[in-house]
Structure 1
């Protein structure tokens, strides 16, 4: 996915690899749902409604003050009459690290995790805790996700569980990717697995971000993690 901004019109355009896109003008910003943490844009066309949620960068964000990276969520809902088709995708955007990434030392990051989980019981918003460490000399990264879901319809909580991840840093450009392994099961005894991919942001990699995906028996989860170096 990609996100572009038109300074002349103030419009954000999201595009996916398959060719789908949506453009959100300033007039589509929802003042009721927007706050110091997120800016929310809604638009409706025919039987399809699109929503773009952008995590606000800057010192005034009460959840995490980010300078070089942030994330967005693009949700598409199609009303098919008897059923609703829902697609939700997470993306990162910001100022990438310089091409000559650090080659010595290591760093740990304070992180924030956000996501969505769908399983036979319904749809859950995901929160929880996460960690991220980079070894620039070895060009490796490690991460953990301890994910808790809240059913968006009933408010009931359910654990997705703990995941350990490991990956490698690209030789140039500050990108990284890896795999996620379930340490146990979810609240129903199901095992999930998945992957993550992201990059370091800021001139010296002061911030990081990645998106992740998980699949298991009858369910799937997606989300984003962003963080600042300690």
Structure 2
């Protein structure tokens, strides 16, 4: 199925649809006690594919561990306003999928051309033959700005939501917060900022992540950008990759990877926003 490249995301998910993504994978090997993070550019061959199946009204993700999975009827949840959520326990592990519902009235963030999601697969193997894996993918997708329609003059400011995960030696933190982005189209540069907090997934305690900011370059003849990130206290560094969405770059999506310089803390996530 060809990827959807025109119209609005809201209209696209009224029928069968196929979307490319940009994504960050953060994977924790419980047996080896190691964490890996990979930040993948929008549309890259190694990134997630997102499908919407109109007949069932369900999202399906593929191209990563534990995916190409269609959640059976009865495994969706509407408990979190603004999110389309699925979860299922199976013999090989637990799968969860959360997507910011494309809607002009979404109470979390109303977007027209882009959205983001989180795929989580927790392997339940206990045999010690294969390691147990906690695998997270944070991704963004939508209707990309055509490269020849990208603004090449002027500037624009965007704001929106961010979500991610951070592993450190003592705890796992679910990240949430806000994203800001300022694009100078004439100079082909981007300045972005992330304001995040972490919730300990075991006890619910909160931590504040130092403000993260960075600069990126918009690729010549593309709708994408990539650059570097650092926190205000230099305790975290990382990368950012993203793309613009909508016929005139009205919205933006990005993925980020972060880590401490000594690699004892590793994480990442995704963010979306609009002008």
- TM-score over 0.5 (shorter chain): yes
Root mean square deviation of aligned Cα? 2.1
Q: Distance in 2 between matches of 1:63 and 1:10?
A: 21
- CA deviation digits over 1:146-203, x for unaligned, max 9? 2211112211111221212100112223111111012205xxxxx2211111110000
Task: Give the direction of change, closer, same or farther, for the CA distance of 1:23–1:47 in structure 2 (3 Å limit).
Answer: closer
Matched with 1:94 is 142
Confirm or deny that 1:153 pairs with 2:191: no
| TM-score for both structures, normalised by structure 2 | 0.74
Matched with 2:61 is 14
Contact 1:196 1:212 in 2 (8 A): yes
Deviation at 1:52, TM superposition (A): 0.8
Matched with 2:242 is 198
Contact 2:93 2:125 in 1 (8 A): no
Q: Distance in 1 between matches of 2:178 and 2:54?
A: 35
Matched with 1:121 is 170
Confirm or deny that 1:62 pairs with 2:107: yes
- Uncovered stretches (5+) of structure 1, i.e. residues with no partner: 186-190
Match 1:49 to one of 83, 86, 94:
94
Confirm or deny that 1:78 pairs with 2:123: yes
Task: Give the direction of change, closer, same or farther, for the CA distance of 1:61–1:29 in structure 2 (3 Å limit).
Answer: farther
Contact 1:196 1:211 in 2 (8 A): yes
Contact 2:242 2:254 in 1 (8 A): yes
Contact 1:11 1:23 in 2 (8 A): no
Structure with greater contact order relative to length (CA < 8 Å, sep ≥ 6): 2
Task: Compare 101-110 and 217-226 and name the one that shifted more.
Answer: 217-226
Within 5 Å, which residues of 2 pair with 1:31-46?
31=77, 34-46=79-91
Q: Distance in 1 between matches of 2:120 and 2:159?
A: 27
| TM-score for both structures, normalised by structure 1 | 0.88
Matched with 1:218 is 264
- Uncovered stretches (5+) of structure 2, i.e. residues with no partner: 1-47
